[in-house]
Structure 1
Amino acid sequence: MWQKREIIGELLGTFILVVFGCGSVAVAVLFNAHQGLMQVALAWGIAVTLAIYLTRHLSCAHLNPAVSIAMVASGRMKASKLPVYLISQFIGAFLAGLLLFSPSIADYE
């Protein structure tokens, strides 16, 4: 069965990934800091690396529902763990989106 550390790992890892990845795009767009695709790609790469590095001891560090579904489909993860992983990832992404979107909601409208 699943453990609390797996829930925390997936939630925290996905949160970190979305905050740094989507945050880099938000900064580039909202502050006219367009330096090209390399800037955003590098930020996403650092976000993925950081999220995996910080959460690898807590969970499998899937950080993406597609990865979790693929792991179940390939038999590398029990199907009973899938709902917990997906819910944790969705909550982490939602909280990160809320953190990024709420302070600057007027800038998006």
Structure 2
Amino acid sequence: MNGYLVPANAKRGTLIFNIFRPVDLIMFSVGAGLSLLLLMITQSSSTLVVILSCLPVGITGLLVVPIPNYHNVLCAIQSILRFYNERRNYIWRGWCFYGEFGSEDKNKK
């Protein structure tokens, strides 16, 4: 008998620090690098300019924050967009369906 049970957290071994995918870390490091570059280029003492320069690291940081039931915020946004853009037509085949659906299925076979 070669039936192996896979533990629920088997995918965590493929993640970096058991939390991040490589794409997440690349995206966050690009945002942090862009923010550092903007801070070095502007060299302003204005609070508004400093906040605008730190926006890339803030946005990418919020996108890679882990949340329950999804991997992170980016995965949740991708799932929402996929749900609305790739809408499929689901036909109810439960215990109570109309006779017209049942007759269509019989005619197709």
TM-score (norm 2): 0.35
| Higher helix proportion (structure 1 or 2) | 1
Question: TM-score scaled by structure 1?
Answer: 0.35
